[in-house]
Amino acid sequence: MHVVVGLGNPGRRYAWTRHNAGVLVVERLGRRWSIPTTADHHGSRVGNGAIGHERVILALPQSFMNRSGAPVASLLGYYKRPVEDLVVVHDDLDLPFGAVRVKRGGGHRGHNGLRDIIQHVGADFNRVRVGIGRPPDGWDPADFVLGRWTDEERAALDDVIDLAADAVEAILHDGVDAAVSQFQQSPAGGVAHRSQHNPGHP
Q: Rounded to the nearest 5 degrees, what angle is found at the Cα of 85, between the Cα atoms of 112 and 47?
A: 80
Its sign, for the CA torsion 184, 57, 73, 24, is: positive
Q: What is the DSSP letter of 116?
A: H
* Residue 40: other Cβ atoms inside 10 A: 9
Expressed in angstroms, the distance from the first to the final Cα of the chain is 20
Longest distance between any two alpha carbons in the chain, whole Å = 47
| 64 burial via Cβ count (<10 Å: 0-12, 13-18, 19+) | middle
Residues 196 and 193: their CA atoms lie apart, in Å, by 9
Of 19, 41, 90, 111, the active-site residue reads 19
Q: Is 106 left (phi over 0), alpha (psi -120 to 50) or beta?
A: left
Q: Which of 5, 176, 23, 190 has the alpha carbon at shortest distance from 101?
A: 176
19 labelled catalytic? yes
Write phi, then psi, for 65 (nearest 5 degrees): -50, -45
Write out the catalytic residue numbers. Answer: 19
